[in-house]
Amino acid sequence: MPADLEPGAAEHRITLLETLDRVLNKGVVIAGDVTISVADVDLIFVGLRLLLSSVETARDLRTGRDF
């Protein structure tokens, strides 16, 4: 923890970083199939993947998706 930050600010930043690490990288992954029908579009977004699209993910996401 940097000594120059007041205790409140440092704690706040740490809490946010810890939260981000968990909600973006951990927890249940729901990323199943994408079903596209003519009438509806079922889309599944996983926030992290949109941010850090791997090649594999980008390829999967590209298959006929409409967003």
Partner 1 sequence: MQAVYIYGIVGFPPEFPCRIQGLGGNPVRLLPQGDVAAVVSPSPLSPWPLDEAHVTLHETVVEDVMGNRPILPVRFNTLLGTAEAVIALLAQRAQVFRSALERVAGKVEMGLRILWQPVEEPEVSPDQEIQERGPGAEYLYWRLKEERGRSRVRAEGERLIHALQAPLFSLAVERCLHPFPTERLLLTAAFLVDRDRVDAFRKRAAKVREDFPHLRFLLTGPWPPYHFVNGTEDNKR
How far is residue 5 from each of residues 8, 20, 49, measured CA to CA in Å? 8, 20, 33
Least Å distance between CB 8 and partner 1?
Answer: 15
**Which of 31, 33, 23 is CA-nearest to residue 54?**
31
Contact criterion met (CB below 8 Å) for 17 and 1:
no
Least Å distance between CB 56 and partner 1?
Answer: 8
Over the window 37 to 66, marking each residue x when it contacts partner 1 by CB under 8 A and - when it does not, the resulting string is ---xxxxxxxxx-xx---------------
Which residues contact partner 1 by CB under 8 A? 1, 14-16, 18-20, 22-33, 35, 40-48, 50-51, 67
